[in-house]
Chain A
Amino acid sequence: MSFVADVFTRWQDPAIRVQRNWIFTLLWGRTSNQRLIWPLAYMLLLCGMAIFPTDFVRALYFPLAFLAFAPSLNTAALIEALGHWRVRKPAGAVLIAQALLLNSLVWSLIGLLFWYRTANPTVLVLMGFAWLFGQFMAFALPQAFAQRSLHPAQGHAWPVQLALAVLFVPLFALLLYPQYEIWIRAALLLCTLALLLGLRVQIQRFGQPRVMSPRPASAAAQQVSLSAKSALRFRIETNLGFALDAKGWRKLLGQLLLTPYALILLYQHVLPMPAVNQWGAGALFAMQTGTFLVHFSARRQWSNAWLSRAHSRRQLWWQDEQLFVGGLLLITGLNYLLLRLLGMDNGTQIMNAALLFVVGMAFLRYLVLSLPWLNLFGLNARGRTDLQGVGLAFILLMPIWFAVAWVWSKGVQDQIELMIISLAAPTPILAYFSYRYALQIDLGAIRRAKLS
C-alpha cells in the first residue's frame, strides 16, 4: 500500500505538481486541437445531463458507457509516447497515478449527474467500470490503443475491438435482463474493484525501467514457402474486397450483425417508440440490405482473374452467383435463428421478413446486374463505379423501397405474401439477363476503370 500512500502524500510535492498538471492536460488530448475539443465536449455533455428531460437522459445510457471508455484512448497515446521517450522512473508512476486520479474525478461528475437526474446508480457503476477498463487496457497495450480515430470499426487493433466486446457484455445483459439489474450492478462493482487493483499494478510496472529486446536481423535470402489458401476463402475475399483474417472477420460481423442488432435492441428496450411497433425483423433486415449487397462485388476483380483464375466469363459469373446465393441463404438463416432466440418479433413476421430479404436481395442484385447504367452499393454490371449510376439507382429504386415499406408497415399478411411473390417472379428472368450481359462484358474496360 506504500504506492497508494505515496500517491496521496506526495500530492503537493512541488517537483511532481508541475509535471502532474502537464500530464493531466495531456490526458485531454495530445494535440492542442484535441485539448480544445475534448473539454468542450465534456462541458456540453455536462450541460446536456443537467438540462435535458429525464427520458432523453435515460436514452444516453449506452452512449455514456462508450463515452467513458473513450478518454482511455488519450491515455494510451500518452503512455505510448512516454514509452518512446523512456520516461520510466518510479516517480513517473506516482505522477501518472495522480494525473489519472484527477481525470477520473472530472469524468465521474458526469456519472454523478446522471445518477442525480435518473436515480439510477447502475450507470455510474457502468461508467466507472468502462473508464477503469479502458485505462487498464491503455496501460497494458498502449500501442494497440494509441489510434487517432475513435471509431471502433476503423481500428487496426484487435485489443480495442476485444475491449468493446467486453463492454458489450454488461450492456446487453442490462438490456435483455432488466430484472437482474441489481445483480449485474454488483458484479460490475466487483469487476471494477478488481480492475482498480490491476490498474495499480500496471501503473507501478510503468514506473520500472524496461529492457529493449533487439529484433534479430532477417535472413539474407528468404525461403519462399507458399502455403495454399483454400480456393473458396480466396474467392470470398475477392468478393468482399478485404482479407478474411481476424480483423476482416470482425469488420464483417461488426457491420453486418453487431451494429443492426445493437441498434434494434436499443430502440426496442431503451427508447421504445410506440408509433413504430413493426420494428423488429423487418427493420433488422432492412438495415442489413446495404451492408449485405456491398460485400458481393467481385466483378471489379474479374479483370485480374482472367487467364489466371478463370478461363470463361460463364465461369466467372457462375462462381460469383454461387457465393451470393450461398451467402444470402446463410445470412438469412443466421438472422432467422438470432431473431427467434432474442425474441425480437413474432414468428410470422420473422418468416415474412426472411423471405422478403432473400427475394428482395436477389431481385435487387439481378436488376442492377442487368442494367449496366445502374450502380447500387458498389454493385455494377460493368464492374465500374460511377456516381451517375448511384443517382439513377436511387431514383429508380426509391419508389420500390417505399412501396415495400408501405406494404410491410400495413401488416396485412396476404398483401405481404403477394409482395414477396411479385418480387420473386421476375427475379429468374433478371438473372438470365444478367447472365447474358456478363458473357459479353469487356474486361479490359474494367481494368482501365480501376486504375484511372
Chain B
Amino acid sequence: MHVSDSFLVARDVELGAVQCKGQSFTIEPGQVIGLVGKNGAGKTTLLDGLLGYTFLASGEVKVFGHPPTAMPKEVCSQIGFVAQVDDLMPWLTGKEMLAAAKLFHTHWNKELVERLVNNWRVPLSQQISEMSVGERQKLALIAAMAHEPKLLVLDEPAASLDPVARRALIEEIIAIVADGERSVLLSSHIFSDIERVASHLWLLENGRLSFDGELDELKESIVRLHLTHPLKIADSLALTTSRVVRTEVSAERETWIIRGWNDELAAECAAAITSPYHVESLGLEDAFVEISQ
C-alpha cells in the first residue's frame, strides 16, 4: 500500500499522556480502527493530537498529506469528528444546528440526514439545551456524518446511547466502510461493539500503542494455557515462556496468560508438554482484561 494513499500517517507522537516515540501508525481507506485503552490512558488526547485540536509536543502527523493544525478547507471537509461529550451550542435548535453545519460544507447528503433523523428519532425542533444527552449525541453524530467525510473519528460515541441506538450506529458505520473508500476511527470501551465493527485495533497502554494491527490477530494471539498438575514438560518451552504475561497457580492446575500466541508456540507446546493441557482462546473483552492486569 503506497503511503500517499493513507488517510493519516503518524510518527513518534508525543503529547501529554501519549508517549509513542519510535512508533508509527496509519489509517488506510476502508479500515475501521478501534482505539481501546483504560480510562485516562490518553485516548482523547491522542485523537486531539491527530486531528489538530492540540499541538503535539513532538512527532509528526500527516492527515491527507497535511499537518492537522494547518489543513486547507477541502481537506477539512474530508474529516468528521464527534467528541466524547457533545460540544454543541445550547441556544440553537437541532434544525438550526444542522443548517449551520450544512452552510459550511459543500457536500451534504440530504437523504441520509432525513433517514437518520427519522430512524434515530432526533427531535429537531427542540432546543439543544432541552435535549437529553443521547439525543444530543445522535445529533452530533448526524452532523458529522452528513457531509460523508472520508475519515470519521468518533470518541466514545456510544457511551450515551441506548443499545438500539448503538446497534443503529454500528450498522451506519458498516454501511460507510462497505465500499472500502472511507474509514472510521472510533475509541470505545464497549468491546462488543468493537468486536463487531472494527477491522483493526489500536491498544493504548501506558501511553504507547502496544498493539497496532488486525483485530483478528489480537484475538488469536492472546490465549490462556491451562496446565494440569503435576506438570510434565519434556523439552524447553523457551518461546512460550517468553510470551507469558501472567500466571495463576492453584493446587491442581496452573494457567498461563500468553500474549503472542502463534503456530510456533502451538507446535512447541504440543511437542514439549506431555501432561494434559488445554488452550483457551479469548473474546476481546476477556483478552483486554487479562492483559490490563
Contact = CB atoms under 8 A, between A and B. Distances in A.
Interface string B81-108: 1010101110110011011111111000
B52 A222 contact: no
A304 B104 CA distance: 13
Given A301-B89, A311-B75, A221 B80 contact: no
A242 B76 CA distance: 27
Given A222-B117, A443-B54, A444-B53, A308 B87 contact: no
Nearest to A441: B55
Contacts of A234: 100, 103
A250 interface: no
Interface string A223-242: 11011110100100110011
Considering residues B52, B53, B105, which has the most beta carbons from chain A within 10 angstroms of its beta carbon?
B53
Contacts of B53: 303, 306, 442-444, 447
Nearest to B87: A304
A291 interface: no
Nearest to B105: A308
A440 B55 contact: yes
B80 A237 contact: no
A224 B124 contact: yes
Contact of A242 (B91, B100, B114, B117): B91
A312 interface: yes
Considering residues A222, A223, A308, which has the most beta carbons from chain B within 10 angstroms of its beta carbon?
A308
Contacts of B124: 222, 224
Given A227-B99, A306-B52, A306-B53, A447 B76 contact: no
Contacts of B79: 307
Interface in A422-439: none
B281 interface: no
B45 interface: yes
Contacts, number: 91
Contacts of A162: none
B115 to A, nearest CB: 9
Considering residues A304, A312, A442, A444, which has the most beta carbons from chain B within 10 angstroms of its beta carbon?
A444
Interface of A is mostly: loop
Contact of A229 (B81, B100, B105, B113): B100
A451 B70 CA distance: 26
Q: Could you say which interface size class chain A belongs to? A: 20 to 34
A244 to B, nearest CB: 9
A304 B88 contact: yes
Contacts of B87: 303-304, 447, 450-451
A227 B96 CA distance: 8
Nearest to A242: B91
B117 A226 contact: no
A228 B75 contact: no
B60 interface: no
B70 A224 contact: no
B6 interface: no
B221 to A, nearest CB: 33
Contacts of B52: 306-307, 443
Contact of B103 (A229, A301, A304, A307): A229
Contacts of B55: 440, 442
A64 B71 CA distance: 60
Interface in A146-197: none
Nearest to B93: A243
A445 interface: yes
Interface string B111-122: 001100110000
Interface of A: 221-224, 226-229, 231, 234, 237-238, 241-243, 301, 303-304, 306-309, 311-313, 440, 442-445, 447, 450-451
Interface of B: 44-45, 48, 51-55, 69-73, 75-76, 79-81, 83, 85, 87-89, 91-92, 95-96, 98-105, 110, 113-114, 117-118, 124, 143
8 contacts: A221-B118, A222-B117, A229-B96, A234-B103, A242-B91, A304-B87, A306-B52, A308-B105
